Every structure is written in structure tokens, then in C-alpha cells.
């Protein structure tokens, strides 16, 4: 029963810690899987259906499907993770991990991966319906774009969650941000149709690159055409994974 009976090393390896924190954080699916799947598919699917009836030319269908995929990514990865972290902050849940040999970077990486994994079922649902109803394919490189985009959005969600002072602020700020990065950027509508101001601000928004990469992939383009967008998404993901831990209130001031 005592430590001398069960000696262990002082610390698990970084990959083990990552895996253990990820598994711990995925346990929530036991209680909330229904809502993760239904609620986070519902909004993008409803948008997709709405746009399907509104537009009828092939380019519009392409924007509708890729826009709905980015919308799903934003709702599931950014919005939900940001709100979840706000909830954790309210419940002082960081203290549990901070008191264990878990580094901030590992914790954030595990949470971002949790966000990506929880996004996948909803993304695949929208992608399958896009393929079946509108004949818009999801190619392997499109899938890579989705994964990178989901990481970039998770990183953004993690940043918002840690930046917010409580769950209420996290909820409000992520909703405002989601509206901006979905509807005031070239996600559902072409860049050239946006006002000049939003064309400029779109450069700073990860959804711009995720939507662009997805549109190109559905049109049959390969890595040669997609690499600038993929590189931008990778940059967003890496920056958020390195910057977010600096903001993480591991120790209270």
C-alpha cells in the first residue's frame, strides 16, 4: 500500500503524460457524447441546408459545403474548447494538473488534440452529406487541411479560454469571435465580395486559409496549390501551441 511497496519513477515521459491527459480529458465523452455529436453537427448542417436552397450554381454549392466544414471546425474546436477552458477555470480544475508533473505545453497540446478529435465526427458528417447531396468530394489533402485547420482553431479556442477571466467571459468572447471569423471572412462568400476592411482583416484569420485550402482541394488541386494555405494553418497551430502556454495561469499571481 505504501510507496516502498510500489516504487516508481518520479515522472512519466512527455508522451505518456500527453496521452494520459488526453485520455483524461476525453472521458467527458462518456457523459456528453450525444450533445457533442448532435449539437455540433446541427448548426453547420442547418446552414448547409439553408444555403443549398438559397444557391443553386456549382460554385455556391462548393462554398456552402466548405463553409459548413469550417463552421463545424470553428464551433467544435474553437468555441467549445474556449468555453470548456473557461468552465475549467471557474472550477479551479487547472490546479489538479498543476499539482501533478504535467507541463503547460503538454497540457495545452493534449487539450488541442482533444478539440480536434471531438471535431472529427461532426466534420465527417458534414463532409459525407456534402458528397452525397452536392457531389462535393473530400480528398485526402482536404482531410489534411481539415486536421490542420482544426488544430489552428483549437489553439485559438485554447487561447480564448485561458485569456478569459471566467466561463461567462469565455462563452461571450468565443461566440463573438466565431461570428467574426465565419461570417466576416471568406468562408461562405468569396473574398472579392467582402468589403475592403474585411479583405484586409481576413489575412489574420485562420478560417480564411482553412476555407481556401478546402475549396481548392474539392476542385481537385494538390499540394502545389495548397501549400501556402497549409503553411499558414500550420503556423497558426504552432504559434498558438507555443503562445497559449505562456498565458496559462498554472500558478496564480
Partner 1 sequence: MSKLACEIRSLTKIYRGATSPANREIDLDVPAGVIYGVLGPNGAGKTTLVRQLAGLLEPTSGSIHLLGVDVRAEPGRVPLLLGYFGQRLLALNAHRFEEVLRITGLLRGQSVAQARRQAGLLMEYFGVTELARNLLGRMSGGERRLAGLLATFMGDRRVLILDEPTNDLDPLRRQQLWSYLHERNSRTGTTIIVVSHNLLEVELVAHQAVLIDRGVVAACGTIGDLKRSVAGWVRIELRLKQEQAEDRELIAGLPNARLARPGLWVIPAAPAAAPDLLGMVLNRLSPGALDDFRLVTPSLDDVYLHFTGREVGQHV
**Interface ranges with partner 1 (CB under 8 A):** 1-12, 16-17, 20, 23-24, 27-31, 88, 91-93, 95-96, 98-103, 250-253
Q: Smallest distance, Å, CB 167 to partner 1?
A: 12
**Which residues lie closer than 8 Å to 151 by C-beta, 6 or more apart?**
77, 112, 113, 116, 233, 237, 241
User: What's the min distance (Å) between Cβ of 103 and partner 1?
Assistant: 7
* 8 A C-beta contact, residue 103 and residue 17: yes
Nine cell digits for residue 216: 481548392
Q: How far is the CB of 88 from partner 1 (least distance, A)?
A: 7
Q: Which is nearer to partner 1, 19 or 235 (CB)?
A: 19
Residues 6+ apart with CB under 8 A from 170: 82, 83, 85, 86, 87, 89, 160, 161, 164
For helices 140-163 and 104-134, angle between their N-to-C axes, nearest 10 degrees: 130
Which CB sits closer to partner 1, 31 or 196? 31
Beta carbons of 69 and 123 less than 8 angstroms apart: yes
* Cβ nearer to partner 1, comparing 30 with 56: 30
**Dihedral sign of CA atoms 73, 195, 204, 208 in order:** positive
Nearer to partner 1, 30 or 53 (CB): 30
Give dist(CA 86, CA 98) in Å, integer.
Answer: 16
Shortest distance in whole angstroms from residue 86 CB to partner 1: 13
State the minimum distance, in angstroms, from the CB of residue 93 to partner 1: 4
Closer residue to partner 1 in complex, CB, 65/88: 88
Amino acid at each position: 500500500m505504501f510507496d516502498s511497496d510500489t516504487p516508481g519513477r518520479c515522472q512519466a515521459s512527455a508522451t505518456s503524460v500527453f496521452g494520459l491527459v488526453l485520455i483524461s480529458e476525453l472521458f467527458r465523452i462518456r457523459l456528453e457524447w450525444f450533445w457533442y455529436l448532435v449539437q455540433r453537427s446541427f448548426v453547420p448542417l442547418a446552414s448547409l441546408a439553408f444555403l443549398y436552397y438559397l444557391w443553386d450554381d456549382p460554385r455556391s454549392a462548393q462554398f456552402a459545403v466548405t463553409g459548413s466544414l469550417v463552421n463545424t471546425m470553428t464551433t467544435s474546436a474553437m468555441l467549445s474548447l474556449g468555453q470548456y477552458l473557461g468552465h475549467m477555470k471557474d472550477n479551479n480544475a487547472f490546479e489538479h494538473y498543476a499539482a501533478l508533473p504535467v507541463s503547460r505545453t503538454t497540457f495545452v497540446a493534449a487539450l488541442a488534440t482533444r478539440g480536434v478529435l471531438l471535431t472529427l465526427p461532426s466534420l465527417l458528417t458534414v463532409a459525407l452529406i456534402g458528397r452525397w447531396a452536392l457531389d462535393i468530394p473530400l480528398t485526402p489533402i482536404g482531410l489534411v487541411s481539415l486536421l490542420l485547420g482544426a488544430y489552428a482553431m483549437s489553439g485559438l479556442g485554447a487561447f480564448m479560454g485561458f485569456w478569459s477571466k471566467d466561463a461567462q467571459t469565455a462563452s461571450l468572447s468565443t461566440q463573438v469571435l466565431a461570428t467574426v471569423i465565419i461570417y466576416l471572412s471568406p468562408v461562405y462568400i468569396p473574398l472579392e465580395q467582402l468589403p475592403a476592411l474585411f479583405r484586409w482583416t481576413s489575412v489574420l484569420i485562420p478560417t480564411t486559409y482553412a476555407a481556401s485550402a478546402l475549396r481548392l482541394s474539392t476542385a481537385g488541386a494538390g499540394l502545389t496549390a495548397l501549400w501556402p494555405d497549409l503553411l499558414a494553418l500550420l503556423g497558426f497551430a504552432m504559434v498558438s501551441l507555443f503562445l497559449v502556454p505562456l498565458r496559462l495561469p498554472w500558478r496564480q499571481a
